[in-house]
């Protein structure tokens, strides 16, 4: 293995360890020593790749944000919907119903509850950007559904997108509070019932009026 490969591996281990510790202990509880121990890396290795804890934490938060966006885009882009692009409703439903570790919570949403991350403009930036991207992506899909006649023309794309994001984040909270993933599913299915396309069968067999 080359020295470049070793360096890359050490850097990745440090980022992964920081992500885990931020989740478990928060920013204040994530010490450089704990990161080094978790990553199996020495102090010299850590400071070779990163200027310090804030720099490493930012790299870890950016990685979490990137992975969150990629996971959402796989379903919002239709890659897993009926083998094709899917309708607006199908893509939103796929996003809401995608496999999640519900009781563990949202990795990005969890960061919004860390006061030290929120108070630091640099650390908070990837979190804000991810949530802004998600709301914008969802609003665009709702707008497509309105334009095609799938959704009611009076539906507000931005407001609906915000409601979708709020349902997901609130669903995590309800699930963790109750100790049951069913609470998340109930919130998701309730929202999908409200978004049901015009003219489709309702839960009791009736059709939503066009």
Q: 72 and 163, same structural domain?
A: yes
Q: What is the pLDDT of residue 77?
A: 87
First-to-last C-alpha distance (Å) of the chain: 64
Flag whether 30 is in a domain.
Answer: yes
Q: 66 and 167, same structural domain?
A: yes
For 156-202, how does the pLDDT look when each residue is reduced to its tens digit (9 = 90+)?
999 999 999 999 999 999 999 999 999 999 999 999 999 988 666 55
Q: 130 and 73, same structural domain?
A: yes
For 20-42, how does the pLDDT look when each residue is reduced to its tens digit (9 = 90+)?
999 999 999 999 999 999 999 99
Flag whether 31 is in a domain.
Answer: yes
Residue 10 has pLDDT above 70, yes or no: yes
Higher-confidence residue: 200 or 53? Answer: 53
Structure tokens at 6: 């070793």
Flag whether 24 is in a domain.
Answer: yes
pTM comes to: 0.86
Q: 78 and 36, same structural domain?
A: no
Number of domains the chain is built from: 2
Q: What is the pLDDT of residue 80?
A: 53
- Average pLDDT for 66-79: 89
pLDDT-based confidence at 86, cuts 50/70/90?
confident
Q: 88 and 33, same structural domain?
A: no
What average pLDDT is seen over the chain?
89
Domain with 7 in it: what CATH number? 1.10.10
Flag whether 56 is in a domain.
Answer: no
SS3 per-residue string spanning the chain: CCHHHHHHHHHHHHHHHHHHHHHHHHHHHCCHHHHHHHHCCCHHHHHHHCCCHHHHHHHHHHHHHHHHHHHHHHHHCCCCECCECCCHHHHHHHHHHCCCCCCCCCHHHHHCCCHHHHHCHHHHHHHHHHHHHHHHHHHHHHHHHHHHCCCCCCCCHHHHHHHHHHHHHHHHHHHHHHCCCHHHHHHHHHHHHHHCCCCCECCCCCECCC
Q: 188 and 106, same structural domain?
A: yes
User: Which range of residues forms the domain containing residue 19?
Assistant: 1-50
Q: 45 and 84, same structural domain?
A: no
Flag whether 57 is in a domain.
Answer: no
Residue 206 has pLDDT above 50, yes or no: no
Domain with 151 in it: what CATH number? 1.10.357.10
Residue 97 has pLDDT above 90, yes or no: yes
For 98-149, how does the pLDDT look when each residue is reduced to its tens digit (9 = 90+)?
999 999 999 999 999 999 999 999 999 999 999 999 999 999 999 999 999 9
Q: Do 167 and 189 contact (CB within 8 A), yes or no?
A: no
Q: 146 and 180, same structural domain?
A: yes
Q: 133 and 35, same structural domain?
A: no
Q: 96 and 195, same structural domain?
A: yes
Q: 71 and 170, same structural domain?
A: yes
Q: 157 and 67, same structural domain?
A: yes
Q: What is the pLDDT of residue 95?
A: 96
């Amino acid at each position: 293995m080359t020295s470049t490969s070793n360096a890359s591996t050490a850097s990745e281990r440090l980022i992964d360890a920081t992500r885990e510790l931020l989740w478990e202990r928060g920013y204040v509880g994530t010490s450089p020593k704990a990161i080094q121990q978790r990553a199996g890396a020495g102090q010299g290795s850590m400071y070779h790749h990163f200027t310090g804890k804030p720099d490493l934490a930012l790299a870890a938060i950016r990685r979490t944000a990137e992975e969150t966006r990629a996971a959402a885009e796989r379903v919002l882009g239709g890659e897993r919907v009926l083998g094709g692009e899917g309708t607006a409703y199908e893509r939103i439903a796929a996003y809401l119903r995608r496999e999640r570790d519900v009781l563990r919570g949202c990795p990005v949403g969890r960061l919004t509850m860390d006061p030290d991350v929120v108070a630091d403009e640099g650390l908070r930036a990837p979190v804000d950007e991810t949530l802004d991207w998600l709301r914008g992506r969802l609003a665009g899909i709702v707008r497509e559904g309105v334009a095609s006649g799938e959704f009611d023309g009076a539906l507000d794309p931005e407001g609906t997108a915000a409601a979708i994001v709020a349902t997901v984040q609130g669903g995590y909270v309800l699930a963790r509070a109750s100790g049951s993933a069913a609470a998340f599913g109930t919130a998701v299915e309730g929202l999908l019932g409200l978004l049901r396309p015009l003219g489709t069968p309702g839960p009791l067999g009736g059709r939503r009026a066009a």
